[in-house]
């Protein structure tokens, strides 16, 4: 039995973003198969059952979430239960930002209970109080940052429009041409921001990886780095982040 261990007591805070089919979710499945600790997943993509299939799930806790309230409750439970060495995952993080806005609109009486929010078109200046909404979302993310466990979240991507940079977030990602979709302050909460792009959609095994943001003290200059049969644990956690793999022999009875 093997178990990967971090080089120090610092926790990982990793944001993985990119298009569909780029292998983003494979990162934490790879981690799960190389640790002996527990993994907690807030599943907003409703895809975890399919991805894990018949794998052993004895060290896995997950909640399928369809709105902001469900995801906030799941995350609160996961971050309280998780211990040092465990991992807390959100896949996908992207919808939680829109759900937060919908939840605020409902609680502030901007829409009536039972309203089909997919048909509601808010007028920003009239319908939203961004100060309150951002405060709500910051509290949501603070739960994630307060856990004793390592953190990895998966997000969709959106283009950085040249000449239309929206503050520090766009400046951070402008040379890569793409950024995580969602609330603009989210990337600053993470030590590592990793973009994954599919190189070959047909094979599903070749990936192109860039790292726009890396933890201070680590050397990682990946820009369109190509991998085949990409192993997140081997190629990043071990080779870049300095994790080690311990092999434990089972005791004979």
**pTM higher than 0.95:** no
CA distances from 225 to 32, 78, 194, 197, 221 (A): 24, 33, 11, 10, 9
- Specify the higher pLDDT residue, 54 or 141: 141
pLDDT value of position 167: 60
pLDDT bucket at 248, cuts 50 / 70 / 90:
low
CA 237 to CA 226: how far, in whole Å?
17
Helices (H) and strands (E) in the chain, counts: 8, 12
CA pseudo-torsion sign 225, 46, 79, 37: negative
Query: Does the pLDDT value for residue 249 go beyond 60?
Result: no
Confidence of residue 228 (pLDDT cuts 50, 70, 90): confident
What's the average model confidence in pLDDT over 200-217?
A: 77
Mean pLDDT of 28-55: 93
Give pLDDT tens digits for 71-80: 999 999 999 9
Say if residue 92 is preceded by a cis peptide, omega within 30 of 0: yes
pLDDT at 166: 57
Q: How far apart are CA 160 and CA 158, in angstroms?
A: 7
In this prediction, residues 219-247 reach a mean pLDDT of 88
Average pLDDT of the residues of the chain: 88
Helix axes 68-81, 130-146, angle to 10 degrees: 30
Enumerate domains of the chain plus CATH numbers. Answer: 2-247 (3.40.50.300)
Checking if the pLDDT of 116 tops 90, the result is no
Strands (E), the chain: 2-5, 13-17, 39-43, 60-64, 87-91, 150-155, 157-159, 178-180, 192-198, 206-213, 225-228, 244-247
């Amino acid at each position: 039995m093997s178990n990967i261990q971090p080089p120090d007591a610092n926790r990982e805070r990793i944001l993985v973003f990119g298009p569909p089919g780029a292998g983003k979710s494979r990162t934490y499945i790879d981690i799960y198969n190389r640790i002996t600790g527990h993994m907690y997943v807030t599943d907003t993509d409703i895809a975890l059952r399919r991805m894990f299939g018949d794998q052993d799930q004895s060290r896995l806790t997950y909640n399928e979430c369809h709105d902001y309230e469900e995801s906030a409750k799941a995350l609160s439970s996961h971050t309280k239960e998780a211990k040092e060495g465990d991992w807390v995952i959100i896949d996908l993080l992207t919808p939680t930002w829109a759900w937060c806005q919908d939840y605020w609109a409902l609680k502030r009486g901007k829409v009536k209970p039972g309203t089909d929010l997919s048909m509601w078109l808010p007028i920003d200046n009239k319908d939203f109080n961004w100060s309150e909404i951002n405060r709500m979302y910051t509290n949501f993310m603070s739960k994630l940052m307060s856990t004793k466990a390592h953190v990895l979240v998966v997000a969709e991507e959106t283009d950085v429009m040249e000449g239309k940079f929206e503050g520090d977030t766009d400046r951070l990602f402008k040379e890569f041409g793409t950024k995580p979709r969602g609330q603009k302050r989210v990337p600053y909460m993470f030590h590592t921001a990793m973009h994954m792009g599919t190189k070959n959609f047909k094979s599903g095994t070749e990936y192109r990886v860039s790292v726009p943001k890396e933890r201070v003290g680590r050397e990682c200059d990946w820009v369109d780095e190509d991998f085949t049969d990409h192993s997140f644990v081997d190629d990043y956690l071990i080779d870049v982040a300095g994790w080690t793999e311990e092999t434990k022999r089972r005791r004979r009875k």
